[in-house]
């Protein structure tokens, strides 16, 4: 796995430099939320609803409050007098909403999903808090349940919220062109009804919040395992009625995010409010069972879609309906189905397109982005349709894609679609056909038919499949980065970007070091702290390297200019004659000139010495024209997203007796522009691919007819382990985006996006003799056997 990079003459960019995160983490000296221990700290446990839908008639915590070691049990009735608002108003703007579903800080009248928090217990230890939890008596009156997003939209269906007019949370149409006319005129139409099931993000670290209140100044510090500390600060201020200066949100080390940690949760309010109310530090650490019922999930979608083509398989139009399960509350918005719909046609020239979206409320855990954020489903739908067309028209599956891919000569290609913010979706760069060709070559696509025949002759069912994707990355408008060179000679970088394990600090250190001497060990990155960065957006949409990276680059260039200006004045030379090397600024002298120590001191200065001069002294003039100190702050604004692309080719073997699907080989060719750190890019891809394999074959978040979750531990909900990972070949193309100075695109979610589509395609191919067509994900061995049996029954019926 060797990557190339566009940064040819760079000091540290484009290189596999050691990660700055590793030295602490590898020694067990990281500091995650649960590692924060404060004197007098209380431990919180949440009492959660065991019902998917019920009215709360009464809550009696008398016995729990009397348990030794319990300091308080708080319900909404206890907290409400201390809050400016009792709802989490987090919905991103959209004209599509038909219901406002702002979730409460704690449920008090009605619970709408299993796991919804009702009360918090604060005790000397988590053990005692959980003892007390069992002593709280809640009287529920069960209500009818909306457990399925399709049924939930039927007339007369039980509503997820008592008294709501319906379960229709939002509806919208995405599309362009006269799609019905295109279908009218088309010689061929292909239809699919596709289901993608929900799963979780399952970062290995669950969520966690620690809050401490300083009563002297009425200030709160909240450490939270969030991807979006600034959003958390704003919401906490709104709900608690505090000013920004009173409330600091800081992220400790975060043990994986993958989407759900960008959401703002009730527990964050409750822990912060409890710390202020009780005057004691409070810690809450989510356990895995809670993670299954209280941390947001994604992917439940039903696509009823059609593709129209001409005789050569050229796409004339795509249309259909999408039903999206929203869960019980609006914990983010309609961005997931929007992302799914805009991802669907992106790799291809689709002249007319229309998807009618209906978003349904159900009595399940709220839905928000999980790595991929709708894009895996949109890609699955498109790729399934193309496979159906290839099969119907007798065209090779790769060939039909080649005929429809956006060609490189059309770049930049402005699609008629817009993002959720109304910004034009323009494919900025890339050579999609070439990228696909790389993947096909490496996977042995051409010669596969012969291998398949040979395998079939010996009773083995192997198949190969592919899927293309284009990922929207680097969502704007900005990310904050400031840099200060301090008199100690150390360089401090502060950013609104939030690190969650993906190497954000390494990325920023690299970009800053590149301009300032190349010594990454001289740089300290403070990420995800609202009191270090005045504004910030945080981690989502594979955005931070693009947005924070470019702000860091711009700020580092300013610092460089200022350092050289000050140094040149002191050293009485021109800035152009100076270079920063390591922690020193040196005059460029001919290499063969030998100098004494005294001469040396005239031609070199440390960064610290320069910073001291620039800092200034009372009564003395400052050097240069740049004002005091050496600092720069940047928020590079880029509204347009930059689009990464790629192709996955999967080879599978299906055991037709057991239904087991084994992935024999996986090739992933992609293009994320210039690669800043090849190993980190590959690590992102591999993690995403593993997640995609899980979504395709293993990860199933089950619910029964009463919306009771059935898979609430990691033995029932299967995450991919090392033995399920196939051999993976990663191939890189680098088409720099013209949208930013570094030419970089995001890659954080790329790996997951095409995997389901590619594996489904390969399973179809392996099971061709049975006429199998995969129409849902994930596929368990039981599902595969059912498909085989259906296929057998069909062919027997024909006889």
Partner 1 sequence: MGVSDLPEGSTTRRIEVTVNGEVRSAEVPVRLMVGDFLRQNLKLTGTHFGCEHGVCGACTILFDGRAVRSCLMLAVQADGHEITTIEGLALSTDTLHPLQEAFCRTHGLQCGFCTPGMLTTLIEFLEDCPDPTPEEIRVAISGNICRCTGYEGIVAAALEAAEVLRARRAGAA
Among 26, 77, 662, 793, binds partner 1 (CB under 8 A): 26
Q: Provide the minimum distance between the beta carbon of 396 and partner 1 in the complex, in angstroms, as a whole number.
A: 30
Among 30, 50, 158, 771, binds partner 1 (CB under 8 A): 30
Among 164, 725, 785, 786, binds partner 1 (CB under 8 A): 725
Find out whether 124 and 195 touch, Cβ atoms under 8 Å: no
Residue whose CB is less far from partner 1, 176 or 698: 698
| 501 counts as binding partner 1 under rule CB under 8 A | yes
The window from 162-170, 514-522, 523-531, 717-725 that contacts partner 1 (CB under 8 A) reads 717-725
Q: Provide the minimum distance between the beta carbon of 528 and partner 1 in the complex, in angstroms, as a whole number.
A: 13
| 608 counts as binding partner 1 under rule CB under 8 A | no
Q: Provide the minimum distance between the beta carbon of 451 and partner 1 in the complex, in angstroms, as a whole number.
A: 22
Contact characters 745-764, partner 1, x per CB under 8 A: ------x-------------
- List phi, psi (to 5°) of 327: 75, -165
Among 233, 405, 415, 502, binds partner 1 (CB under 8 A): 502
Q: Percentage helix, strand, coil, to 5, in the chain?
A: 30, 25, 40
Q: Provide the minimum distance between the beta carbon of 720 and partner 1 in the complex, in angstroms, as a whole number.
A: 8
Please, which residues bridge with residue 212 across strands? 221
Among positions 33-92, residues that touch partner 1 (CB under 8 A) are 34-35, 37
Among 7, 97, 223, 258, binds partner 1 (CB under 8 A): 258
| 527 counts as binding partner 1 under rule CB under 8 A | no
Q: Provide the minimum distance between the beta carbon of 31 and partner 1 in the complex, in angstroms, as a whole number.
A: 8
| 588 counts as binding partner 1 under rule CB under 8 A | no
Is there a cis peptide before residue 778, judged by omega within 30 degrees of 0?
A: yes
Please give the Cα distance from 215 to 275 (Å, whole number): 10
- List phi, psi (to 5°) of 654: -110, 130
The window from 297-305, 383-391, 441-449, 674-682 that contacts partner 1 (CB under 8 A) reads 674-682
Q: Provide the minimum distance between the beta carbon of 723 and partner 1 in the complex, in angstroms, as a whole number.
A: 5
| Rounded alpha-carbon distances, angstroms, from residue 67 to 129, 281, 736 | 9, 20, 63
| 288 counts as binding partner 1 under rule CB under 8 A | yes
- List phi, psi (to 5°) of 403: -70, -20
End-to-end CA distance of the chain: 50
Among 12, 13, 21, 523, binds partner 1 (CB under 8 A): 21
Among 714, 775, 785, 786, binds partner 1 (CB under 8 A): 714
The window from 454-462, 530-538, 560-568, 677-685 that contacts partner 1 (CB under 8 A) reads 677-685
Beta-sheet strand order (sheet of 110-111): 110-111, 54-60, 137-142
Contacts for 545 with CB less than 8 Å, ≥ 6 apart: 474, 504, 507, 676, 744, 746, 747, 748
Helix (H) or strand (E) holding 59: strand 54-60
Residue 437 CB-half CA count within 13 A:
8
Please give the Cα distance from 119 to 267 (Å, whole number): 10
Among 96, 147, 167, 203, binds partner 1 (CB under 8 A): 203
Among 3, 15, 32, 418, binds partner 1 (CB under 8 A): 32
Q: Provide the minimum distance between the beta carbon of 354 and partner 1 in the complex, in angstroms, as a whole number.
A: 36
- List phi, psi (to 5°) of 81: -60, -15
Residue whose CB is less far from partner 1, 449 or 662: 662
What b/e sequence results for 733-771 when a residue is b if at least 16 CB atoms lie within 10 Å of its CB, and e otherwise?
Answer: bbbbbebbebbbbbbbbbbbbbbbbbbbbbbbbbbeebb
| 202 counts as binding partner 1 under rule CB under 8 A | yes
Strand extents, DSSP E, 197-281 = 208-214, 219-224, 247-250
Q: Provide the minimum distance between the beta carbon of 120 and partner 1 in the complex, in angstroms, as a whole number.
A: 19
Exposed, middle or buried: residue 583 (CB in 10 Å: 0-12, 13-18, 19+)?
A: middle
| 2 counts as binding partner 1 under rule CB under 8 A | no
Exposed, middle or buried: residue 13 (CB in 10 Å: 0-12, 13-18, 19+)?
A: buried
The window from 11-19, 446-454, 591-599, 608-616 that contacts partner 1 (CB under 8 A) reads 11-19
The window from 272-280, 285-293, 450-458, 579-587 that contacts partner 1 (CB under 8 A) reads 285-293
Among positions 85-144, residues that touch partner 1 (CB under 8 A) are 127
| 207 counts as binding partner 1 under rule CB under 8 A | no
| 298 counts as binding partner 1 under rule CB under 8 A | no
| 18 counts as binding partner 1 under rule CB under 8 A | yes
Please give the Cα distance from 643 to 218 (Å, whole number): 45
Q: Provide the minimum distance between the beta carbon of 71 and partner 1 in the complex, in angstroms, as a whole number.
A: 18
| 680 counts as binding partner 1 under rule CB under 8 A | yes
| 214 counts as binding partner 1 under rule CB under 8 A | no
Residue whose CB is less far from partner 1, 599 or 713: 713
Residue whose CB is less far from partner 1, 273 or 666: 666
Please give the Cα distance from 559 to 553 (Å, whole number): 10
Q: Which of 485, 471, 448 is nearest to 562 (CA)?
A: 485
Structure token pair of residue 534: 């005045």
Residue 347 CB-half CA count within 13 A:
34
The window from 238-246, 464-472, 475-483, 496-504 that contacts partner 1 (CB under 8 A) reads 496-504
Q: Provide the minimum distance between the beta carbon of 647 and partner 1 in the complex, in angstroms, as a whole number.
A: 18
**Helix (H/G/I), strand (E/B), else coil: 505:** helix
| 280 counts as binding partner 1 under rule CB under 8 A | no
| 554 counts as binding partner 1 under rule CB under 8 A | no
**Helix (H/G/I), strand (E/B), else coil: 751:** helix
| 489 counts as binding partner 1 under rule CB under 8 A | no
| Rounded alpha-carbon distances, angstroms, from residue 91 to 87, 97, 107 | 11, 10, 18
Among 2, 28, 591, 596, binds partner 1 (CB under 8 A): 28
Binding site for partner 1 (CB under 8 A): 1, 16, 18-19, 21-23, 25-32, 34-35, 37, 127, 201-206, 253-256, 258, 285, 287-289, 500-503, 679-680, 682-683, 685-691, 713-715, 719, 721-723, 725, 728, 751
């Amino acid at each position: 796995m060797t990557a190339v990079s566009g940064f040819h003459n760079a000091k540290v960019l484009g290189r596999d430099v050691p990660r700055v995160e590793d030295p602490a983490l590898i020694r067990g000296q990281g500091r995650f939320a649960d590692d924060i221990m404060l004197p007098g700290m209380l431990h919180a446990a949440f009492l959660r609803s065991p019902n998917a839908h019920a009215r709360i008639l009464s809550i009696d915590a008398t016995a729990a409050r009397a348990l030794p070691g319990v300091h308080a049990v708080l319900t909404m009735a206890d907290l409400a007098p201390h809050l400016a608002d009792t709802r989490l108003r987090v919905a991103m703007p959209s004209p599509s909403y038909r219901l406002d579903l702002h979730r409460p800080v704690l449920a008090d009248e009605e619970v709408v999903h299993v796991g919804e928090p009702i009360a918090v217990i604060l005790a000397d230890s988590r053990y005692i808090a959980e003892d007390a939890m069992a002593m709280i008596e809640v009287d529920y009156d069960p209500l009818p349940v909306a457990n399925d997003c399709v049924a939930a939209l039927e007339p007369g269906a039980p509503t997820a919220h008592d008294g709501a007019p319906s379960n229709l949370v939002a509806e919208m149409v995405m599309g362009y062109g006269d799609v019905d006319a295109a279908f009218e005129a088309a010689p061929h139409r292909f239809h699919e009804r596709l289901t993608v099931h929900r799963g979780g993000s399952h970062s290995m670290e669950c969520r966690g919040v620690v809050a401490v209140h300083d009563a002297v100044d009425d200030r709160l510090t909240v450490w939270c395992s969030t991807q979006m500390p600034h959003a958390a600060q704003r919401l906490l201020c709104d709900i608690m009625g505090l000013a920004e200066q009173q409330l600091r949100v800081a992220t400790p080390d975060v043990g994986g995010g993958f989407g759900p940690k960008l959401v703002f949760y009730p527990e964050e309010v409750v822990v912060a409010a409890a710390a202020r109310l009780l005057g004691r530090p409070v810690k809450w650490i989510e356990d895995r069972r809670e993670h299954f019922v209280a941390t947001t999930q994604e992917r439940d979608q039903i696509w009823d879609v059609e593709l129209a083509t001409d005789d050569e398989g050229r796409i004339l139009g795509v249309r259909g309906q999408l039903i999206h399960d929203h869960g019980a509350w609006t914990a983010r918005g309609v961005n997931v189905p929007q992302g799914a719909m805009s991802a669907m046609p992106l790799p291809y020239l689709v002249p007319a397109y229309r998807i009618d979206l209906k978003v349904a409320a159900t009595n399940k855990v709220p839905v928000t982005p999980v790595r991929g954020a709708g894009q895996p489903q949109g890609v699955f739908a498109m790729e399934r349709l193309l496979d159906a067309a290839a099969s119907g028209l007798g065209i090779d599956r790769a060939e039909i894609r080649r005929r429809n891919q956006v060609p490189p000569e059309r770049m930049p290609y402005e699609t008629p679609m817009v993002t959720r913010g109304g910004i034009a979706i323009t494919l900025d760069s890339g050579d999609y056909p070439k990228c696909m060709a790389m993947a096909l070559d490496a996977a042995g696509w051409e010669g596969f038919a012969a291998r398949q025949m040979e395998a079939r002759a010996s009773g083995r069912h192997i198949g190969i499949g592919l899927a293309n994707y284009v990922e929207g990355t680097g969502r704007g408008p900005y990310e904050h980065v400031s840099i200060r060179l301090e008199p100690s000679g150390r360089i401090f970088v502060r950013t609104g970007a939030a690190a969650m394990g993906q190497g954000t600090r390494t990325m920023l250190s690299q970009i800053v070091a590149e301009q300032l001497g190349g010594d990454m060990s001289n740089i300290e990155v403070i990420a995800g702290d609202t009191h270090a960065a005045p504004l910030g957006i945080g981690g989502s949409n594979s955005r931070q390297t693009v947005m924070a990276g470019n702000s860091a680059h711009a700020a580092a260039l300013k610092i460089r200019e200022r350092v050289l200006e000050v140094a040149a004045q002191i050293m009485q030379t021109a800035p152009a004659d100076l270079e920063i090397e390591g922690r020193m600024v040196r005059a460029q002298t001919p290499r063969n000139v030998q100098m004494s120590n005294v001469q040396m001191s005239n031609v070199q200065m440390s960064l610290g010495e320069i910073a001291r001069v620039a800092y200034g002294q009372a009564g003395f003039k400052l050097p240069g024209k740049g004002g005091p100190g050496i600092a720069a702050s940047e928020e590079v604004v880029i509204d347009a997203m930059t689009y990464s692309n790629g192709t996955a080719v999967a080879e599978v073997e299906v055991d037709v007796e057991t239904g087991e699907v084994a992935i024999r080989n996986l090739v992933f060719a992609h293009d994320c522009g210039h690669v800043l750190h090849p190993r980190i890019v590959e690590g992102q891809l591999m993690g995403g691919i593993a997640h995609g394999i899980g979504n395709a074959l293993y990860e199933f978040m089950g619910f029964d007819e009463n919306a009771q979750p059935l898979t609430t531990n990691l033995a029932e909900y299967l995450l991919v382990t090392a033995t399920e990972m196939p051999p993976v070949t990663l191939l890189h193309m680098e088409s720099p985006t013209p949208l930013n100075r570094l030419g970089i695109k995001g890659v954080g979610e790329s790996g997951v996006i095409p995997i389901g589509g590619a594996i489904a395609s390969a399973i179809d191919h392996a099971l061709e003799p049975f006429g199998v067509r995969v129409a849902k994900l994930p596929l368990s061995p039981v599902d595969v056997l059912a498909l085989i049996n259906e296929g057998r029954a069909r062919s027997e019926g024909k006889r």
